[in-house]
Structure 1
Amino acid sequence: MSFSPVQKLSVGTGIALAVLAIVGLTTFLGIRQMIGSEQAVANTNAAIAKLDRVVTRTLDAENAQRGYISTGAESFLEGLDEAQNDVEYALDSLRTLTEDDPEQRRNLDQLGPLISVRFRDVRAAVATRRRAGRDAAEKLLSSETAVRSRGGAGPIASRMRDEEMRVLGDRMRTMTTTGRSARRLILIGTLFSLVLALIAVQPARPSVARRLTERMSRALLLSPELQITQAESARHAGDRLRRLEQIVHALQVPLSAEEVAQLLLQKGAPPLVASLGVVVQRRGDGYLVLRSLGDAVPGLRDGAMLAADLVAPIAQAEQAAEPVVIESATERAKLFPSLGSFSGTGTSDGAFVAAPLTASDGVHGVLLLAFAAQRTFGDDERAYLATLGRLGGLALARVGS
């Protein structure tokens, strides 16, 4: 069966368009999966942080109990209610974050009652100290099960944390694989469509090609724009994944705290396009600037102690173990009215984010990224910052151990 030049052109063009449509649909699904994976990574990081919060704040309550029993000073009990409220809030958040994981829900069902019993024991020992004295309270204390003992809540929390770390690794690998597959499919599909189009137009007379081109140009106008948008989204997601892989690889060798800070700024910060990047770490009552990149005021330069008028967002991020995100100058002035300037020229006094560098035993530093103007931070960027903070915190924890 022979085909006319117009028929050959139509068939070839139709196949090429079909291939482009398949590539576009598959790429769209891949990008949507990557975005979903980034959100899942953020949820996993949040679950890890909440588990650490449960153990840490329960330990705070135990320390307050021991201090009060030993000295009888009421000041030790000031934070007891706050610690219990923090733990209950963290447990409620964990129930939401683990609702799709039956095994973690079973672990959480065991963890919650143990934590409740532990706080009940803490308050019972405090009441015994008030009523019967130190000796009776210490006797009661010796019979209690501490949070990190074999029969306490600590082992269950550790088991849940290990499972979340495993899930985090699986999701990171899935994101990497999906990104690579999307890039490969875009390239192969585009090349194949180009070859088909070139073959199809060969037998067409110039006049036919000209008429068909004029008729089809309007219909095809949106396809390249859609393809560019999808390719750009895949490229940004792929760049963040590559940088996280590079950071993980670099952290496999021992590094100093300053080298870890340099790695976070040089490899981790560029995708967010900040005008200033700083990594600080607590030293006594203040904060030491480990590394800074950009036009910074003297109080934000390498080796300097953080200026007092710049401490507020850093301290809040460290205390809450959650990022402090400011998206505009108006929000900045409202929440931190006394905050000083990050740069001498005003090029970094718009939006900013202070991301805690966290590990299982707490916060080991803060990453500050500042911007010249206001901007919003999407869910994918927040997930990326949370992962970057987890990697940096684990590395700094190893330095301090």
Structure 2
Amino acid sequence: MNIAFFFESDINPIKGGTERVTWSVAKYLISKGMKVVFIAHQKRNDFDPSLLSYHRFLPDSVGYDTLENIRYLQNLIQDEGIDILVNQGGLSDEVKLCNKKILQDQVKIVSVIHYGILEDLYYFKEFLRFQFIWNKPFIFIKSLLRYLRMPLLKRKAVKNRKNQLSFLYRNSDAIVLLSEGSKDDFLQFVDNAKKEKLFVIPNPNTYEKIHEQSLKNKDNIVLYVGRLSYSQKRVDRLITIWKNIEYQFPEWKFLIIGDGPERTRLEALVLKYKLKRISFLGYQDPEVYYQKARIFCLSSTCEGFGMVLTEAMQHKVVPMAFDSYKALHDIVEDKKNGFVIPPFDLSAYASRLSLLMKDFRLCAQLAENAQEKVLEFDVEKIGEKWMSLFKFLCQNEKC
């Protein structure tokens, strides 16, 4: 069976969550005797040439469904005998090429949705920044207009989501969601959709080994790993939380791994609050910090899965996150292997974080449970789900 994974950019396991997941699943499939190729719209400037043999690049890296790209993809599928095309950008521009209208019956199409179906619409307001600053009239008026237009913007977003999902459903052989809880959300948007076309396959652990390390060798570190963006990640919430408890815990520090457009603003916020033990470390291999940290904090408005949670849990780091997306409950069980906080309640978050920082025994117990929990996401188990899906799609055909 020959499988192609389609994504916006080249698949490099150190570049992003979807890339790491794709790489892990691909390695599993290859170990089972399958041929796997990656089809990318664009090649990054720092593309790793050692990965070239796995990759095929569209000739037009600007447009998507151009005649040049369509012909290239159709010929590639035929020449390389691709049986199944897995579109890893189910709600992105990738669907302009990876659909039945263009590819007809050349190949089975699996569309993967790496985001929640409903959460970003439910918490729509949280994605918009409002700055009602009296002494800056331009910013004030701009924020006011955005606030007044918010109901209209949300209606448009809901309509667009319905159109996206309906097109995806009609033009895919299977839809893969990351959480069982997303099925009902999908069916709510797509008229006459059937559950039989929806498959739930969580993301696998991307670190190959469970790290059996002593909790006594860990440091008093609270950790964040991820992109520094406003609309989704909202690291400013964590800085506000830390402001309220830093003085109580002089032996603890807060490390932020990652970079992005919000970094300058976040660093200014730290200076404004005169915080002493927050460090911005930029892009780093997070594994060494997972090995040292005791607590992992996620502050996102919503996530698709939250791979950083399972990565941290593999290293006995206790996870905390807001209860703002369905897949979270597949990963974190409140008070058993981490803490699930009511959406955007900064006071409750600070209280739970303080409890973990004070109570070593509680922190240690949750950490042990967290590491045990992520065994459910072992790549062998997740890989078997992918194999079952592929066999189901090809059961009446030669693949």
In which range does the TM-score fall when normalised by the shorter chain? under 0.3
TM-score by length of 1: 0.27
Higher Cα Rg, which structure: 1
TM-score by length of 2: 0.27
